[in-house]
Structure 1
Amino acid sequence: MPTLNWIGKEKVINHHQDVPYKTLEPQYTFSNGKESKTATSQNKIIHGDNLEALKSLLPEYEGKVKCIYIDPPYNTGNEGWVYNDNVSDPKLKKWLGQVVGKESEDLSRHDKWLCMMYPRLKLLHKLLADDGAIFISIDDNEQAHLKLICDEIFGIGNFITDLIWRSADSSNNDAKQFSVDFNHTLVYSKKSDWNSYRLERTEDNNSHYKNPDNDIRGPWFSGNISSPNPRKNLTYDIVSPKGLIIKPPKNGWRWNKEKVEEMIIDKVVVFSEDETRIIKKTFLKDQSGIVPSNIWWEIDDTGHNRNAKYELIKLFSELKTSDIFKTPKPSKFIEKILKIASNKNSIILDSFAGSGTTAHAVLNLNQQDGGNRKFILVEMEDYANTITAERVKRVINGYGEDKKAVEGTGGDFTYYELGEPLFLDTGFLNEEVSLDKILEYVWYSEAKTPFIKPKEDYLLGAKNDTAYYFYYQKDSITTLNESFLRSIKTKASQYIIYADNCLLDQSIMDRYNIVFKKIPRDITRF
């Protein structure tokens, strides 16, 4: 498989493992039109570096996100707006200097973009569900590079399609070479057997189904009767009721002779009036939906960039958001993605949230079909609360003149800031982090499942007949000894016990199948 190399690659291919794990600190929950201090919503908007935020989501969400949509910087070289599109943002420069080192001074903007994207895609791959898909919008500046690194991270066999979306409603006659009228959206799955959900049929889709013979099974359409590949065993003749010989198509019939004869009896296959050909009836009643095309050219169906700007202007009449977001995505475009890649209870993630279009689309779709989809947005810029979260509030409440122009969708979300790192630079646990956050991390590092705090002191939980204990006290040294063993209440075939020290005899450890792990040395960094 072809792979892509660039300056700094060797420094970032495993960098996701070195990203510090930080806690997510709830700031407020927006519900019923009001803010409260309790973190009660399953919808999340997170302000902070998306690389660190993605790492912080792992304990709760690894392998659970059904649909990921991201609209990362296109790396056009344009520096004229807040979301720095040529990835020379001071924060990124600082990060590159720390991770890549002095080599970063010689990086081209393409090298920088690849260094920025690679570890983020690695973490997104971890968060994606086995039956999930990721959609990544991009243009020609980085499409070829993105395709190669996604082949590497997600697997070339898990490439689904390059979705072409008509992003402009008219051609740009001021263009010097070609008018750029579309964007790419690369689609990858976690496994090669991913299937999209079918889109609802429209009147136009159904218009060619007729019922000229008044078949009681309803309208039908003449379906394909030819084999998709040349098949000698399917190249038999068919004899009509009048004894006319009907020769097979070039590739042969789609079915064997016994199947065709059965279909003729059932009148699913019928003869033409002159009996020179056969007709396969495909009934409208049997059609459940439309397989999505990978060309989305109907702007009435998906919207376009100018629609998206109008949407923002309507939402933020008091702000010049068009100066911030030059090419936002319309919510209808994201809605269509969600229709083919999520169900009513899916978790949706957007780690380049921008103005919050993905949350807008989720809320719209839930309102339309009564779904319970949940969104997670991550935005690193300072407008995460004033624009991203504010947009979601207005969508929930309704917006426009007197909040009546567009009806509110209802819903809620909790707004988070990235908190303290779990580990200090010295390697010790950060005692500013709450005990529950520490326990959640350690349990996930062992069991890869969400943490539910047991009632027994120091017990993390049990899995596969192994009980896990975390004997930790903030203000004193803990020692695994016989006294602690006598306090254990959970029966298991094996015990993994964390503590600061261990004074147990090896014979006792062997007798009870105890594995001692020293705090913090033996806590796994993921």
Structure 2
Amino acid sequence: MPLLSWCNRDADLTRAALAPYRLLEPVAEMSYGEPDSPNMLIEGDNLDALKALLPYYAGQVKCIFIDPPYNTKSAFERYDDNLEHSKWLSMIYPRLELLRELMSQEGSIWITIDDNEAHYLKVICDEIFGRKNFIAEIIWQKRTSRENRAAVGSSHDTMLVYAKMEASKWKKYRNLLPPNDKGYGNPDKDPRGPWRSIPFSAQGFRPNQMYPIVSDSGETHLPPKGRCWGALESEFNRYRAENRVYFPKNGKGKPRLKRFPWEDEGLVPMTLWHAIDAGTTEEAKKEILALFQDVEAFDTPKPERLLRQVLEVASKPGDLVLDSFLGSGTTAAVAHKMKRNWIGIEMSDNARLFCSPRLRQVVNGEQGGISEVIGWNGGGGYRYYKLGVPVFDDTGHIREGISFEQLAAHVWFAETGTARSSSAEKSPFLGKHHGTSYYLLFNGILGDLTATGGNVLTKRILKALTKTEGPTVIYGEACAISSELLLESKITFRQTPYDIKAR
């Protein structure tokens, strides 16, 4: 597979791994609505924020939508979008690596981009997510008016879509789009209401489905070449008796079957998303101006209808949605209205000045965007966070003040690559993964108030630990048990903090 090369590529390949694990510090006065809401608005650099989320949310995000800076050399007020090409690639690569780790097995990532970086981004995404996991390149019609300032006016943006699994397998996890009234009519005034017609033929050859059909006008029809009729003759006669058969072209066309809206399961998503369905940039600007009348709109905001269509395909109510370039807050706003759980990450001023006020209005039931169409009337809430200090200091030691739960999450993630449940019991026994049991001795978890606080593995401590079958890994400050006994007991001892390896 071809790989993209740029200045500092080798260093960029390790940036995600070298980024420190930081704490996420809740800011009570900036949080809003239900105090136990799972929704998170994080203020800070998204590379550090994504790394901070890994121990808690690895493998749990169903849908990621990001709208990164496009590297257009335009004067963006709120983003440094005037990045030279290599710097843009250096910025996006490590963030995509972390985003992939956060995706659930059935999850997908949707990335909007214009034609300045789209082709380079495709090569990078093939490398990180895998070419077999490429779902589609979606063309979104972002404007309907003609752009006369350019040699060729740009009227679309691209959305690259990748899954965590191979595209052929992801198909059964994606959703169909809700049926709409396009293509429905009622030329024969059918009392059942509007209908659309579908061909009454099927691929292949079945001898018992090759009968002649005579229309009401006397025309005789046989199946198209290489096809047969879509049902047995007896079933066709039943359809005809139920007024379900339609002959176009005044009876001269081949038979078609009536299909009513309630019979449609949904529509397969297409790669061309028209403005009439997914909105435009101009529509998005109006949505923002309606919320912030005294503020100049973002240059390339995304309309709520675009995000609604993404989330309809890629998620269900209760699923977790993530946007690490939250911008004006559209992804979180739409996810909230559609009853998804969400995590949004945004830089300092944007998070406080735009995202948080907008989301407060959403919680209060604002009626812009998609609210009226989906019947949104408010509710829920979100918790506001800032990035705190790294878990480990510059010398690699565990920073003072780190709680057992915080270190346990990091140990569990370092060993298993999965997130530790926030409702996990506070116990030295962290859990079992692929047959191996994991324990952590830290902060006097066993109630030992001695100098070492029960953080040293001794025979007494070993007896106090929950017994499990199979191999065992125990993290602690030191070990006072002989190597022979460890081997006999199938125990691997790992010393904190030195043996806590970052993934």
Fold match by TM threshold 0.5: yes
| 1:17 counterpart residue number | 17
Equivalent position to 1:181, from 146, 150, 155: 155
SS at match of 1:149: helix
The structural deviation recorded for 1:202 is 2.6
* C-alpha displacement of 1:245: 8.1
Aligned counterpart for 2:116 among listed residues 135, 141, 156 = 141
Amino acid at match of 1:78: S
Matched, 1:392 2:359: yes
Q: Aligned pair 1:410/2:359, yes or no?
A: no
- State the partner residue of 1:431: 400
State the one-letter code of the partner of 1:380: M
Which residue number corresponds to residue 333 of structure 1? 306
CA distance in 2, matches of 1:484, 1:433: 22
Q: What does 1:468-483 correspond to in 2, within 5 Å?
A: 468-473=438-443, 476=452, 478-483=455-460
1:168-198 alpha-carbon deviations (Å, 9 max, x no partner): 241123x131221221111222221223322
- How many residues matched? 478
Cα offset, 1:238, TM superposition: 3.5
Corresponding residue for residue 319 of structure 2? 346
Q: Does 1:198 align with 2:176?
A: yes
1: CA distance, partners of 2:401 / 2:187: 67
Task: Give distance in 2, aligned partners of 1:297 and 1:152.
Answer: 30
TM-score (ref. length: structure 1): 0.81
1:525 corresponds in structure 2 to: 502
Q: Percent identity at matched positions?
A: 35
- State the 1:74 CA deviation: 0.5
Between 1:379-388 and 1:129-138, the stretch displaced more is 379-388
**Does residue 302 of structure 1 match 2:278?**
yes
Question: Taking structure 1 as reference, are residues 441 and 254 closer, same or farther at Cα in structure 2, changes over 3 Å only?
Answer: farther
User: Aligned pair in 2 of structure 1 residues 59, 261: CA closer, same or farther (>3 Å)?
Assistant: farther
CA contact (8 A) 2:22 2:387 kept: yes
Cα deviation for residue 378 of structure 1 reads 0.3
Equivalent of residue 484 in structure 1, options 456, 461, 469: 461
Question: Is 2:185 aligned against 1:207?
Answer: yes
Which of 340, 343, 347 does residue 376 from structure 1 map onto? 343
Contact 2:405 2:426 in 1 (8 A): no
| Residues 476 and 295 (structure 1), Cα distance of their counterparts in 2 relative to 1, 3 Å cut | same
Q: Give, in angstroms, the shift of residue 112 of structure 1.
A: 1.0
Mapped to 1, the partners of 2:313 and 2:246 lie a distance apart of 37
Q: Deviations over 1:81-125 (max 9, x none)?
A: 2211123xxxxxxxxxxxxxxxxxxxxx11111111111111111
**Preserved contact between residue 315 and residue 399 of structure 1 (Cα < 8 Å):** no
Residue ranges of structure 1 left out of the alignment (5+ in a row): 88-108, 366-371
The residue identity in structure 2 corresponding to 1:5 is: S
Distance 1:75 1:271 in 2: 53
Partner of residue 494 from structure 1, selected from 471, 481, 486? 471
Q: Which residue of 1 aligns with 2:54?
A: 58
Amino acid at match of 1:454: E
1:254 and 1:113 map into 2 onto residues whose CA distance is: 55
Assess if the C-alpha contact under 8 Å between 1:143 and 1:184 holds in 2.
yes
Is the CA contact 1:66–1:131 (under 8 Å) kept in the aligned structure 2?
yes
Q: What one-letter code is carried by the residue in structure 2 that aligns with 1:353? A: L
- Counterpart of 1:198, as a letter, is L
Matched-pair contact (CA < 8 Å) for 2:22–2:390 = yes
Query: What is the aligned partner in structure 2 of residue 467 from structure 1?
Result: 437
Q: Which consecutive unaligned segments of at least 5 residues does structure 2 have?
A: 445-450
2:184, 2:195 within 8 Å by CA — same for their partners in 1?
Answer: no
What is the CA–CA distance in structure 1 between the aligned matches of 2:113 and 2:334, rounded to whole Å? 19
RMSD: 3.4
Distance in 1 of aligned mates of 2:144 and 2:9 = 38
CA distance in 2, matches of 1:523, 1:10: 24
- Give the SS at the match of 1:321: coil
CA contact (8 A) 2:21 2:390 kept: yes
- State the 1:375 CA deviation: 1.2
Change (3 A) 1:262 1:143: farther
Q: 1:150 aligns with which of 108, 114, 125?
A: 125
Q: Please state whether the residue corresponding to 1:353 is helix, strand or coil.
A: coil
Amino acid at match of 2:39: N
Deviation by residue 1:257-306 (Cα, 9 ceiling, x = unmatched)? xx54564465479796999875242532431222233222234x333222
Provide closer, same or farther for how the CA distance between residues 497 and 279 of structure 1 changes in structure 2, counting only shifts above 3 A. same
Greater alpha carbon shift after TM alignment, 423-432 vs 239-248? 239-248
Q: Counterpart of 1:67?
A: 63
Contact 2:139/2:156 (8 A) holds in 1: yes
Q: 1:377-406: per-residue Cα shift (whole Å, max 9, x none)?
A: 0012433112211221122225699xxx99
The alignment's TM-score, normalised by the length of structure 2, stands at 0.84
Judged with a 3 Å threshold, the aligned counterparts in structure 2 of structure 1 residues 234 and 209 are, in CA distance, closer, same or farther, namely farther
